[in-house]
Structure 1
Amino acid sequence: MSFTAEVKDELSRVEAPSRAAELAQLSALVRVCGTLSFHGSGRYAIRVATETGAVARTVIKLTHKLFDLETALTVRRSVLHKTRNYLIEIPEQDELADDLVRLGILAPGRGIVPGVPAALTRDAAGRAAFVRGAFMAGGFVADPRGEFHLEIAVTGEEFARELAGLVRDMGAQARLNRRRGVFAIYLKSYDDVIALLGAMGAARMARVVEVARAKKSVKNDVNRRVNAEMANQARSTGAAAEQLELVERAERLIGLGALPPALRAFCRARRAHPELSLAALGAELDPPASKSAMYHRVLRLQALVDEAEAQAG
C-alpha cells in the first residue's frame, strides 16, 4: 500500500462530529472526483470514479447515511496497471436535485456553485471535513523518506483558491499551482504537512511523518559530518604534500643540518609521517608542539626557503 493510500485509509475511518460535517465531506468527495450530468429540467445523475477503495467506501457510506438515494457500484480491474477502479453511479431520481443543493453543489436557479459551499464550512469541523474529503478524492502525499510534499488536485480556479484558503485556516501554508488546466494546492514543508494531516484526522500518519523527518534529519547530519571530515582530510593531505615539497627545497637550498633545531625537527617528523595532519604531527614531537606552533614553523621554513631561492636567483 502506498503512503497516500495509508493516509486515505486512516481518513476513511474518521467519524465526522455532526451531520453538517458529513455533508461537507461528501460534498468535497463528489465535487473533486465526481461527474455531474444534466438530464433535463431538474434532473441529474452522478458518477464518482476512484482507484482507492477507502474513497469508494466513504462515498457509499455517507450517501446512504445522509440521503435515501439509489446507488450502484462497479469494480473494474486494470490489466495494464494491476489496480482496481471503482465506479459509483447515482442515477437520475426525484430527490437528487434537492440533495445536491444540500451538498452545496447546486444553487437553486443558478446552477453549479463555482466555489466552496460557505454554509458547510462555517465552523472548524466543517472545514476539516471538507478538506478531508477533497484530499481523499484528489490528494497525494509523497513518502516522507524521500522528496516530500503533499498536494490536492482540483478543477476550477475559484474552487481551488477557496480550498487553499481552508487549508490555510487549518494552520498549513499552501501554494496554488496550475498544471494544464488542473489546479494543485501544494504543501512542501514537513511542519505544514504534519499540521494538515493532524487537522484532517490522520493523527497516526502525522506521527509517521514526524518519525521519518527525525530519522532523515539524523541521516543528513551524519552525512554532513562525514562530508566535512572527508573535506578536512583532503585539505590535510594536500597541505602535507606541499610541506613535503617545502622540506625537499629546504634540504636542496639550505641543508637540513643548517636549519634551527625546531625547523629541523619539523622536517624530520613530516618525512616520517606524511599522512598526519599538522596537529597530529605536533603531538609526535618531543616535546609536543601545538597546531599553532607547527603552523608558524611552516611559515618560518617557507620564509627561509624563499630567501635562499632569491639569493640563488
Structure 2
Amino acid sequence: MSFSKEIRDEITDIKIYDDNEIIALLSGVFMFCGSVVIKGNGKLSFQINTESITVAKKVSLLFKKMFSITLELYQKNNYNFNKEKIYTLEYTHTLNEISNILKKIFVLNEDSSGIISIRSDIDEIITKNENAVKSFLRGAYMMSGSIADPEKSYHLEFISHDFTFSQNFSALLNESNIKSNITQRKESFIIYIKESESISDLLNLIGAHKSMFKFEDIRIKKQVRNNINRIVNCETANLSKIAKTYVRQKKAIQYILNKKGLSFLPNELRQIAILRLENEDDSLKELGEKLPNPVSKSVVNRRLSKIEKIAQQIYEEE
C-alpha cells in the first residue's frame, strides 16, 4: 500500500461527532471533487468522485447523518488514467433541495437575483474555527491529496480545477503555518508542499498521527544518513588534503637532502625536516610535541612552508 493510501485510510477512519466539523469536512470533499449536474424536469444532482470505496462510504454516511439523504453509489473504470476504479456518489432532487444542501456545506452562492454559482472561497465559518479548518483539510486530502514516498522525496499535493479556489486553499494552508505554493499542470492547478516540516505539520493537523510518526521516523533516519555521509566526505577530503600536503613536503625535504644536504637548513628547520621524514603519519601537532623544545602546530606548519620555499629557491637557481 502506498503512503498516500495509508494516510487516506487513517484519516477516513477518524470518527466525527461535531456537526460543524462534519459540515467542514463535506465542504472540503465537495470543493475538490464535487460537481453539479442538470437533470432536466426541474431537477439537479450533485456528484462526488473518488478512487477509494472507503472514502465513498464515509462521505455517504456523513451526508445521511447530516441531511437524512441516501446517495447513490456506482463505479466505473478509470480509463483516462489507467488506475483504479472511480466511485461516484450521486444525489438527485429538486433545485431547491440540492441548492439548500450545498449552501449548508458552503459550496454554493445565491445572489440577490437568485442566480446560483459554485463558490471559490472558503467560508469564514470554517476558516475562523480551528477544528473546522482541520476537518476541511482532512476532507480535502481524502479526495485530492497525495504524497510522494518520503524515502525518495518530500512532496505533498492537492489537485484542483479552480485557480481562485486554489489560491484560497493555499492561503488557508499558509495561515496554518504550512508553506504551500501553486503550479499549473495542463488544465489543473497543483497546490503543493515541499518542506518536510510543513508536510509533517499537515499530517498532524488532519489527524494522521500514525502516518506522521512514520514520516518523521523516515525523515530523521534520512537526516542521520545525510549527516554521516557529509562527515565521511569531509573526513575523506581532509585526509586527501593531508596526504597531498605530506607528499609535497616530503618531496621538498628530499630535494634539499639530495641537492644540498639537510645541514644546509637552519637548525630549527632541519629538526622538523628530519621528524617529518621519520614520522609520516604524525599530525602537525604531534610533530611539534616531538621537538626538543615543543612548539604549536601553527609553528610546525610555518617551518614546513619555509622548507618548501627553500626547495623552490634551490630549484630556480639551478
Letter in 2 for 1:71: L
**Secondary structure class of the residue paired with 2:192:** strand
2:262 corresponds to: 256
What is the deviation of 1:91?
Answer: 4.3
2:28 corresponds to: 28
**Secondary structure class of the residue paired with 1:39:** strand
> Within 1, Cα distance between the matches of 2:262 and 2:71?
97
> Within 1, Cα distance between the matches of 2:109 and 2:5?
33
Identify if the C-alpha distance between structure 1 residues 41 and 82 changes in structure 2 by more than 3 Å, giving closer, same or farther.
closer
- Mapped contact 1:172–1:193 kept (Cα < 8 A): yes
Identify if the C-alpha distance between structure 1 residues 276 and 43 changes in structure 2 by more than 3 Å, giving closer, same or farther.
farther
Where in structure 1 are there 5+ consecutive unaligned residues? none
Q: Is residue 180 of structure 1 aligned with residue 186 of structure 2? A: yes
Among 106, 117, 120, the residue aligned to 1:115: 120
Identify if the C-alpha distance between structure 1 residues 127 and 267 changes in structure 2 by more than 3 Å, giving closer, same or farther.
same
Q: Is residue 49 of structure 1 aligned with residue 49 of structure 2? A: yes
CA deviation map 1:3-29 (0-9, x unaligned)? 111111121122335212212211221
Q: Is residue 305 of structure 1 aligned with residue 311 of structure 2? A: yes
What is the deviation of 1:123?
Answer: 2.0
> Within 1, Cα distance between the matches of 2:131 and 2:41?
34
Identity of aligned residues (%): 26
2:87 corresponds to: 87
Structure 1 stretch displaced more, 241-250 or 203-212? 203-212
The 5 Å alignment of 1:11-26 reads 11-26=11-26
What is the deviation of 1:273?
Answer: 4.8
- Mapped contact 2:63–2:70 kept (Cα < 8 A): no
Aligned-CA RMSD value: 3.0
- Mapped contact 1:168–1:174 kept (Cα < 8 A): yes
- Mapped contact 1:154–1:184 kept (Cα < 8 A): yes
1:65 corresponds to: 65
> Within 2, Cα distance between the matches of 1:14 and 1:42?
37
Aligned length: 312
Letter in 2 for 1:294: V
Where in structure 2 are there 5+ consecutive unaligned residues? none
1:138 corresponds to: 144
- Mapped contact 2:273–2:304 kept (Cα < 8 A): no
TM-score normalized with structure 2 length: 0.84
1:105 corresponds to: 107
Identify if the C-alpha distance between structure 1 residues 297 and 128 changes in structure 2 by more than 3 Å, giving closer, same or farther.
same
- Mapped contact 2:288–2:300 kept (Cα < 8 A): yes
What is the deviation of 1:272?
Answer: 4.4
